[in-house]
Chain A
Amino acid sequence: MRIAILLMISALTAPLIAQNDNTGRISGSFSSNVNFFMKDTAIHASGTPQYEYQLYSADTWLNVQYNRNNFEAGVRLDAFNNSYLFNPNGGSYTAIGIGNWFVSQQIKNLNIKGGYIYDQIGSGIIYRAYEERPLAIDNALLGVRLAYDISPDWHIKAFTGKQKVQFDSYKELIKGISLEGFITKKEAAEGTNWSLAPGIGMVARTLDNETVEKVNNVLKYYTGADTISSYKHNTYAFSLYNTLSVGPISWYVEGAYKTPDIMYSPLQLNAAGNAYGLYVHKAGTVLYTSVSYAKKGLGITLEGKRTENFSFKTDPSLLLNRGLINYIPSMSRINTYRLTSRYNPATQFMGELAGQLELRYRLSDQWSFLGNYSLVNDLESTPLYRELYVEGTVKPNKKDQLIFGLQRQVYNQIVYEGKVNVPDVKTVTPFIEYQHKFDRRKALRAEASMMLTDQDYGSWAFALLEYTIAPHWGFVISDMYNYDHNPEKTSKGLNYPAVSVFYNSGPNRFSLGYVKQVEGIVCTGGICRYEPAFSGVKATINTNF
């Protein structure tokens, strides 16, 4: 803690000078999300401390970094006031402290880094330490990392430490090592280039005695076929990966294996047949591959993934997104429109078989098309998710752009949301977006979509207008209306309007908006969490320096 404060003081008091190797440079960012709560029982935005008496919450991050020659240091101040970020179901968290700090020194081919470290091995299947603020994920490793350039094309790194949890760390020890390289060859006669980027990695997690005792105190009550009689402190995960690039084709493949590990399996039926969710002790595997082709206006990407028993956590008893050591890519498209992004298939760490195909084609300077199909099954071939997405873009002139498309989804709410005895949600969502530039400064964007479905809340309509006056101002008004509501879910169709204004000044961005938001699931890259309904005013401030 003392080191972090000293770093912050020295970083803030050092002179701000344009890049100069002799004096160093300070940079940073500030981000704050402020909420003012207005109770609305009709949309279930009520019953939590924020709505009942706190009426205000704020999450703030101030990041400062200092660079000089081969030395780098950084510190981040985190402040949470009445925050529901870590527990949206009525939690209220207030704390302020150093959320991140690091020092790094490059000595010839060796880089030494200490503090909170974000990193990953391969695509993250065996190890990924990252930050995703909307999901309250910040699993940086508090430890030491050494990275050595064996040659210009071969790099080895090793790290050890404990995983961060807010202003503390879990007790379990995590260590890892990886070797990555790059091999390229130009075939002069044929004029083709090819390259390989192979890698191998290993991560080990050691359970501490307190966690072992906690797990034992659950396992000892298991009976019959559920019984686990023994296991080990250490779990090892290995990964082998490679990217082959030949001309317009790029092929990534990664295979991973994890030694037998105690994992909580939410869909595992107990021996008595009356309850889902128990600990299992099994080895795990992941096989992931992605092939892409891009040439002359045509882009094709094909992905496939098979996952089995690959939940890898710091502490097996941690729930939801807590304690994640690894990250397994999702096999579905990242949708950006409000209604097309309402249902997302969270990665099923314990078992899934998934694939995705995307085609992009630019017919001309005016016309381009995109088609995407993704499917996810469990390992018993039960369908979990299907999505067909098609989109066309037309730019008749420099001032106008029209995007139109259709999405079809089939989404298993029992598996993805833990709902009981509900049918798959089947949706058809047409959408359209139109952008017009009046002149160099003024532009208008209009968006409209409809989600047609008989399940969950029923059908929705969404409309948005955004008017921007460059370089400073932006105004947005939108409404999401449950026009054909499902009476089993809600007694009447409700409106969820939002009005916002944005102001940009150089690196500074301010926004203020009145928002009503329906409850839902927020996902990023297959990692999801429940987001309750919101009613009130949101203000954000973001800046870089």
Chain B
Amino acid sequence: MKKYIPVLLFIFSLLSGCKEEEIIVPKVQTIQSERIVLIEDFTGVKCPNCPNAARQIAQLEDLYPGRVVAVAYHTNFLGDPITKPGFISKYDFRTPSGNQLEEIMGFYLGKPAVTLNRKKYNPQDEFLLGQTDVLANIETEIQSKPVALISITNTFNEGDRKLKSVITITPRQSFDGAIRLHALVTESDIIDPQEDNTDYKKDYVHNHVFRQMLSDLNGDALATSLQVGTPLTKTYEFILPTEAGWWVAKNCSVVAFISDYNQKPEINGQQLNVGYVLQAVQAKIK
């Protein structure tokens, strides 16, 4: 046995003794771009880790000003209102459309569950809704050239609380696909309890909360091709419910994005019924 010791030591030194180049972590890039990405965050008031994702999204909005549009869907899993005395939820942020969209997107391993542009970036990913794809791909997405620019013109009547939203899509390049337009209303600055890491926060500020679809949940069919010089327009109207702590008009925004249903993500050999988001935009309603 002793005669093998030098051999073994040699093998161990071979395997572990080599010097290797270190990986240098890169810096955040400053990007000049017209591309605006969509981050959708499936969250809940009883999800203690979800505020971490919300803070991360806020950081991305600061780092890439004007390039990020976020929507937070509160759904059934960890999304039912808090009933703990002293922190009882005033609002139930869950919506049937949010729950339906979560099911369309194929669920997730745990919350927070986030998607960037409704695209599955890693073939090995088991879920579209994950926790790492946003940061891993956001710079690449923002650096890409958009197929179109989107503008929103909102008119809001204080009297009857009627919102009229005119959405204009201006193609920047020719593009063929199954293009759909999605439009929805979000609300920010809603104060209500939230589980936050190890504690309950009574006056937590909820931002980008999904409130209402203006289009169909799966988008409205827009075109099969985009041509430069041929803008497309669609108008939506919606009467905001009475303000009662929420539905505060000045805190509401219209989010619009176009997606291509010829580019559907595939999970476990099955295509999910969502399309890759080509461009997004948001505008306050007043």
**Residues from chain A with Cβ under 8 Å of B8 in the complex:** 156, 179
A420 to B198, Cβ gap below 8 A?
A: yes
Which residues of chain B are near A232, meaning CB under 8 Å? Answer: 20, 22-23
Chain A residues within 8 Å of B1, by CB: 150-151, 154, 181
Does residue B107 face the partner (Cβ distance < 8 Å to A)? Answer: yes
A286 at the interface (CB under 8 A from B): no
Q: CA of A102 to CA of B11 in the docked complex: distance in angstroms?
A: 27
Which of the residues B23, B27, B103, B199 comes within 8 Å of A420, measured between beta carbons?
Answer: B199
Question: A461 on the interface (CB 8 Å rule)?
Answer: no
Asked if residues A89 and B110 are in contact (CB atoms below 8 Å), the reply is: yes
Query: Nearest chain-A residue to B22 (Cβ)?
Result: A230
- The answer to whether B16 touches A236 (Cβ under 8 A) is yes
Q: Judge if A86 is at the interface, Cβ distance under 8 Å.
A: yes
On whether A49 and B110 interact (CB within 8 A), knowing A150-B1, A217-B135, A421-B200, the answer reads no
Q: Tell me whether A216 and B23 are in contact (CB under 8 A).
A: yes
User: Is A488 touching B268 in the complex (CB atoms < 8 A)?
Assistant: no
| A230 and B24 within 8 A (CB) | yes
CB-defined contacts of A319 to chain B, threshold 8 Å: 109-110, 131
Nearest CB in chain A: distance from B65 CB, A: 15
Is B77 on the interface with A (CB-CB < 8 A)?
yes
Q: How distant is the Cα of A93 from the Cα of B107 in the complex, in angstroms?
A: 11
B26 within 8 A of A: yes
Q: Total interface residues on A, using CB and 8 Å?
A: 58
- The distance in angstroms between the C-alpha atoms of A87 and B125, with both chains bound, is 13
A179, A276, A420: the one within 8 Å of B200 (CB): A420
Contact of B103 among A49, A175, A177, A418 (CB under 8 A): A49
Distance from B199 Cβ to chain A, minimum over Cβ atoms (Å): 5
Beta-carbon contact of B197 and A221 below 8 Å: no
- Interface pair B16/A219, CB less than 8 Å apart: no
B224 close to A (CB within 8 Å)? no
Bound Cα distance from A210 to B132, whole angstroms: 12
Do B136 and A218 touch across chains, with their CB atoms under 8 A apart? yes
**Separation of A480 and B157 alpha carbons in the complex (Å):** 58
Instruction: Check if A275 sits within 8 Å of B197, measured CB to CB.
Output: yes
- Chain B 259-286, CB-CB to A under 8 Å as 1, else 0, gives 0000000001100000000000000000
Residues in B whose Cβ lies below 8 Å from that of A165? 124
Residues on A with C-beta less than 8 A from B27 are 220
Asked whether B108 is an interface residue with its Cβ less than 8 Å from the other chain, the reply is yes
**Separation of A204 and B18 alpha carbons in the complex (Å):** 13
CA distance A206 to B195 in the complex (A): 37
- Please determine whether B107 and A221 come into contact, CB atoms closer than 8 angstroms: no
Min C-beta distance of A144 to chain B, whole Å: 16
Interface mask (B22-60 → A, CB under 8 Å = 1, otherwise 0): 111111100000000000000000001101100110011
Which of these, B16, B23, B83, B122, contacts A210 with CB under 8 Å?
A: B122
For A238, the closest partner residue in chain B by CB is B16
CB interface residues, B 192-243, toward A, < 8 Å = 195-200
Choose among B16, B49, B108, B124 the residue that contacts A89 (Cβ–Cβ < 8 A). B108
Q: Nearest A residue to B46 by beta-carbon distance? A: A420
Chain B CB within 8 A of A277 CB: yes
Within 8 Å of chain B (Cβ to Cβ): is A337? no
Contact of B136 among A93, A202, A217 (CB under 8 A): A217
Chain A residues within 8 Å of B110, by CB: 89, 319-320
- Chain B neighbourhood of A179, CB < 8 A: 8
How many chain B residues sit at the interface, stated as a range, is: 35 or more
Do A317 and B107 touch across chains, with their CB atoms under 8 A apart?
A: no
The residue in chain A whose Cβ has the minimal distance to the Cβ of B267 is A93
Does A470 sit within 8 A of B, measured CB to CB? no
Any A CB within 8 A of the CB of B126: yes
Residues of B within 8 A of A213 (CB): 136
The answer to whether A276 touches B132 (Cβ under 8 A) is: no
Known contacts A181-B1, A319-B110; A421 and B199 CB within 8 A of each other: yes
| Interface presence of B168 (CB below 8 A) | no
- Which chain A residue has the least Cβ–Cβ distance from B102? A90
The verdict on B244 contacting chain A, using a C-beta distance below 8 Å, is no
Q: CB < 8 Å: which of B51, B84, B132, B200 contacts A317?
A: B132
Tell me if A221 and B200 are in contact (CB < 8 A): no
The answer to whether B109 and A95 have CB atoms under 8 Å apart is: no
CB of B268 within 8 A of CB of A86, answer no
Q: Which residues of A contact B132 (CB under 8 A)?
A: 214, 217-218, 317
Most chain A CB inside 10 Å of its own CB: which residue of B23, B131, B136, B196 = B23
A320 contacts which chain B residues (CB < 8 A)? 109-110
Q: Are B23 and A230 in contact (CB-based, < 8 A)?
A: yes
Are A275 and B52 in contact, CB atoms less than 8 angstroms apart?
yes
A87→B107 contact, CB < 8 A: yes
Closest to A176 in B: B15
- Residues of the B chain whose Cβ atoms lie less than 8 Å from the Cβ of A271: none
Please indicate which of the listed interface residues B56, B84, B109 has the most CB atoms of chain A within 10 Å of its own CB.
Answer: B109
In the docked arrangement, what's the CA distance between A220 and B11, Å? 36
Q: Are A221 and B16 in contact (CB under 8 A)?
A: no
Question: Is A94 close to B, CB under 8 A?
Answer: yes
- B173 contacts A by Cβ under 8 Å: no
Q: Is the CB of A214 within 8 A of B28?
A: no
Indicate whether A21 reaches chain B with its CB closer than 8 angstroms. Answer: no
Q: Is the CB of B4 within 8 A of A202?
A: no
Which B residues are in CB contact (< 8 Å) with A89?
77, 107-110
Contacts of A92 in B (CB 8 A): 107
- Contacts A89-B110, A90-B77, A90-B107 given; does A414 touch B198 at CB 8 Å: yes
Given contacts A218-B135, A220-B27, A230-B25, contact A95 B269 (CB under 8 A): yes
Contacts of B137 in A (CB 8 A): 217
A-B contact pairs, 27 of them (CB 8 A): A87-B109, A87-B126, A89-B77, A95-B269, A150-B1, A177-B11, A177-B15, A179-B8, A204-B16, A216-B25, A216-B26, A217-B139, A227-B25, A230-B24, A231-B22, A231-B23, A232-B23, A274-B197, A275-B51, A276-B49, A276-B197, A317-B131, A319-B131, A320-B109, A420-B197, A420-B200, A488-B85
